[in-house]
Structure 1
Amino acid sequence: MAINVKGKLAKGSVKILHIKREPTEKEMGLGSFEFTDDYSIFDYGKMPDTIPGKGESLARMAAYNFEQLAKKGISSHYRKFVAPNEIEVNLVRVLYPQKKEISLHTRNYLVPLEIIFRNSLPAGSSVFKRLDKGELKVTDLGLDKYPFPGQVLPKPLIDVSTKLEETDRYLGWREAKELSGLTEPQIEEAKVWARKVNEFITSKAESIGLHHADGKIELAVTPEDKLIVVDVFGTLDEDRMLMDSVHVSKQVLRDYYKALPWYKKLEDARANNDPKEKWPVPPKMSSKLKEIVGNMYKGVCEAWVGKKIWKAPSVQEAVGEYVEFLEKQRI
Structure 2
Amino acid sequence: MGSVKDLKVLESPSEDSVGLGVFHFSDRYSVFDWGEMPEKIDRKGMALALMGAYTFEMMEEEGIDTHYVGLRENGEIKNIDELEDPTDEMVIRLVNVLKPEFRDGSYDYSVFQNPSVNNYLLPLEVIYRNRVPVGSSIRERYSPKELGFEEDDWPEVPVSLDDPIIEASTKLEEQDRYITDEEAERISGVSLDEIYRKTEKVNEIITRRSEKTGMNHDDGKLEFLYVEGDTVVGDVAGTFDENRFTFEGLPVSKEVLRQGYKKRQGDWVEEVKEAKKMAKEKGVKDWKKLVNTSPVSLGFEELVSELYLSGANKYIGRKFFDVRELDEVVEDLKKFL
TM-score of the two chains, using structure 2 as the length reference: 0.86
TM-superposition CA deviations, 1:22-71 (whole Å, max 9, x none): 11221111101000000001000000100011000000111111111100
Extract unaligned runs of 5+ from structure 1. 1-10, 327-331
Q: How large is the Cα RMSD of the aligned pairs?
A: 1.7
Greater CA deviation, 68-77 or 24-33? 24-33
Give the distance between the partners of 2:182 and 2:109, measured in 1 at CA: 19
The structure-2 alpha-carbon separation of the partners of 1:54 and 1:26, relative to structure 1 and needing over 3 Å to count, comes to same
The SS at the match of 1:38 is: coil
Alignment of 1:3-42 (within 5 A): 11-42=1-32
Amino acid of the structure 2 residue aligned with 1:276: K
TM-superposition CA deviations, 1:80-100 (whole Å, max 9, x none): 111310100001111124252
Q: Is the 8 A contact 1:15 1:36 kept in 2?
A: yes
Give the distance between the partners of 1:191 and 1:142, measured in 2 at CA: 21
Greater CA deviation, 233-242 or 307-316? 307-316
Give the number of aligned pairs.
305
Cα shift at 1:131: 1.6
Per the alignment, residue 238 of structure 1 pairs with 242
2:164 is aligned with 1:159:
no
2:178 is aligned with 1:170:
yes
Per the alignment, residue 80 of structure 1 pairs with 70
2:46 is aligned with 1:46:
no
Extract unaligned runs of 5+ from structure 2. 74-86, 101-107, 280-285
The SS at the match of 1:65 is: helix
Per the alignment, residue 220 of structure 1 pairs with 225
Per the alignment, residue 102 of structure 1 pairs with 112
Identity of aligned residues (%): 38
Per the alignment, residue 325 of structure 2 pairs with 314
Greater CA deviation, 88-97 or 117-126? 88-97
Give the distance between the partners of 1:105 and 1:45, measured in 2 at CA: 30
The SS at the match of 2:335 is: helix
Q: Is the 8 A contact 1:142 1:155 kept in 2?
A: no
2:312 is aligned with 1:304:
no
Amino acid of the structure 2 residue aligned with 1:255: Q
TM-superposition CA deviations, 1:248-268 (whole Å, max 9, x none): 110010011122122223233
The SS at the match of 1:284 is: coil
Give the distance between the partners of 2:49 and 2:289, measured in 1 at CA: 30
The SS at the match of 2:7 is: strand
Give the distance between the partners of 1:214 and 1:25, measured in 2 at CA: 34
TM-superposition CA deviations, 1:167-198 (whole Å, max 9, x none): 1111111111111110x3xx111111111110
Amino acid of the structure 2 residue aligned with 1:263: V
Q: Is the 8 A contact 1:63 1:81 kept in 2?
A: yes
Q: Is the 8 A contact 1:237 1:250 kept in 2?
A: yes
Which residue among 294, 297, 311 is the counterpart of 1:284?
297
Give the distance between the partners of 1:207 and 1:15, measured in 2 at CA: 29
TM-superposition CA deviations, 1:129-149 (whole Å, max 9, x none): 1026xxxx844x344544534
